[in-house]
Amino acid sequence: MKNLLYAQSGGVTAVINASAAGVIETARNHPQQIGKIYAGLNGIIGVLTEDIIDTTHETGEDIANLCYTPAGAFGSCRYKLGDIANHRHQYERLVAVFKAHNIGYFLYNGGGDSQDTANKVAQISLQLGYPVTCIGIPKTIDNDLAITDCSPGFGSVAKYVATSTLEASLDVASMAKSSTKVFILEVMGRHAGWIAAAAALARSPSQPGPHIILFPEIAFDPQAFLTKVQASVDTDGYCVIVASEGIADIKGEFIAKSHNKDSFGHAQLGGVAPYIASLIKENLGFKYHFAIADYLQRAARHIASKVDVEQAYALGQAAVAMAVAGRNSKMPTIVRTQDMPYAWEIGEADLTDVANFEKKMPADFISNDGFDITLKCHKYLAPLIEGEDFPKFVGGIPQYVKLKNKLITKVLEEFTAL
């Protein structure tokens, strides 16, 4: 009987721990096939350094509460394995760790880069002759993973962005007569505009915000943009803009990078919103406010989408079932079977098909003027933010679980070649 090793990778989300709960609760229900359930501390880094958590010490209640806890309960990492040809020592180390701790199942929970790592680990069986079943579990707020209809983490950030855009739109509408006329919300999305697109869900017949959405898929055209800002202020008295951090000019250069210097003269990361704000102030003279949601958006478990939490959990469950069935080098996916009422089921993808691929917004999801989504996109997005699944609050703030994260005793030499 083999042990299972789970790890979290890449930028964390409001629901990645729900996938962890799905994995651990399901694995605990397979005592005939799965021995110990381990977790890597800080993703693949902890696996390489033999910093491995024994989840046996965690109570059933704490594992259940992972469903309500944002961020990565076992720690995450930004670390890519090298290719096996040139970085064979990393793979030999993994085999040594797997052998030392009798690992037969490796489940890696992350986005495109992380699925690349999962895919590489899946080669160990063939190339190094150590049998391990490797399953990827999808996760990314960016919603840019291939094959799966959507990615866990996205629905919750979409709900946060739609709700925040709605609330800020009401705010600026109240102030516009004598004060702020333009509000800009900067959201994540370096190469794909899915998160910004979700802001459109804030709109209703009586609530026109957001007036403008800026996507990384569309080259930023300052003149067309300013014309639309002016038109929105003329019509409604104010203008609400939601901008992806990754918008770029016609040459493909990031707006944030080319226009912002910090007080030390360095190009400043982030900061699309202040540039947009300055552009409007300079050309149209409107008073503005801007918000940069940054980590708040992806950590906002307090306003997570119930659909998203359920899918994250189900994908963790499915990953264990696939591991036990020996489906090496696969990733469970979300398959949409119906838009309205929304229905979905679990499918399966090859890791080679999802590794290192970024799914951008299709052209027919963006309006002709480039500043809005289409009805088709709206139909796609709307079900993903459905349902609330509030955490328990104690003392006015959400009660999030902190695991014991007890490490197992190391038996190998220290690994210093990260």
Catalytic residues: 142
Q: Which lies closer to a copy of itself via its Cβ, residue 275 or residue 371?
A: 275
Among 6, 183, 254, 344, binds a copy of itself (CB under 8 A): 183
Q: Binding of a copy of itself at residue 339 (CB under 8 A)?
A: no
Among 191, 387, 407, 410, binds a copy of itself (CB under 8 A): 387
Q: How far is the CB of 242 from a copy of itself (least distance, A)?
A: 12
Among 211, 301, 327, 360, binds a copy of itself (CB under 8 A): 301
Q: Binding of a copy of itself at residue 302 (CB under 8 A)?
A: yes
Q: How far is the CB of 170 from a copy of itself (least distance, A)?
A: 4
Q: How far is the CB of 277 from a copy of itself (least distance, A)?
A: 8
Q: Binding of a copy of itself at residue 262 (CB under 8 A)?
A: yes
State the number of binding residues for a copy of itself (CB under 8 A).
84
Q: Binding of a copy of itself at residue 129 (CB under 8 A)?
A: no
Quote the tokens at residue 301: 């478990």
Q: Which lies closer to a copy of itself via its Cβ, residue 34 or residue 373?
A: 373
Q: Binding of a copy of itself at residue 175 (CB under 8 A)?
A: yes
- 383: Cβ–Cβ under 8 A, 6 or more apart, which residues? 307, 339, 340, 342
Q: Give the amino acid at 192.
A: A
Q: Which lies closer to a copy of itself via its Cβ, residue 251 or residue 402?
A: 402
Q: How far is the CB of 254 from a copy of itself (least distance, A)?
A: 13
Which x/- pattern over 191-230 shows residues binding a copy of itself (rule: CB under 8 A)?
Answer: ----------xx---xx-----------------------
Q: How far is the CB of 271 from a copy of itself (least distance, A)?
A: 7
Q: Binding of a copy of itself at residue 278 (CB under 8 A)?
A: yes
Q: Binding of a copy of itself at residue 246 (CB under 8 A)?
A: no
Neighbours of 171 (CB within 10 A): 16
Contact 193, 217 (CB under 8 A): yes
Among 36, 93, 120, 159, binds a copy of itself (CB under 8 A): 159
Q: How far is the CB of 151 from a copy of itself (least distance, A)?
A: 17
How far is the first Cα of the chain from the last one, in angstroms, to the nearest whole number? Answer: 30
Is the omega angle on the peptide bond into residue 210 within 30 degrees of 0, that is, cis? yes
Q: How far is the CB of 382 from a copy of itself (least distance, A)?
A: 7
Neighbours of 379 (CB within 10 A): 13
Burial string for 57-90 (b: 16+ CB within 10 Å, else e) reads ebeeebbebbbbbbbbbbbbbebbbeebeeeeeb
Q: How far apart are CA 342 and CA 383, in angstroms?
A: 6
Q: Which lies closer to a copy of itself via its Cβ, residue 273 or residue 315?
A: 273
From residue 190, give the alpha-carbon distance in Å to each of 94, 252, 294, 379.
Answer: 31, 12, 12, 23
Q: Binding of a copy of itself at residue 259 (CB under 8 A)?
A: yes
Quote the tokens at residue 222: 């300052």
Based on the number of CB atoms within 10 Å of its own CB, is 1 exposed (0-12), middle (13-18) or buried (19 or more)? exposed
Number of H helices, E strands in the chain: 15, 13
Q: Binding of a copy of itself at residue 189 (CB under 8 A)?
A: no
Candidate ranges 128-136, 224-232, 256-264, 327-335; the one touching a copy of itself (CB under 8 A): 256-264
Q: How far apart are CA 211 and CA 229, in angstroms?
A: 8
Binding residues among 364-383 for a copy of itself as defined by CB under 8 A:
382
Among 179, 227, 235, 352, binds a copy of itself (CB under 8 A): 179
- 406: Cβ–Cβ under 8 A, 6 or more apart, which residues? 53, 54, 57
Q: How far apart are CA 324 and CA 33, in angstroms?
A: 7
Q: Binding of a copy of itself at residue 268 (CB under 8 A)?
A: yes
Candidate ranges 20-28, 215-223, 296-304, 407-415; the one touching a copy of itself (CB under 8 A): 296-304
Q: How far apart are CA 30 and CA 8, in angstroms?
A: 21
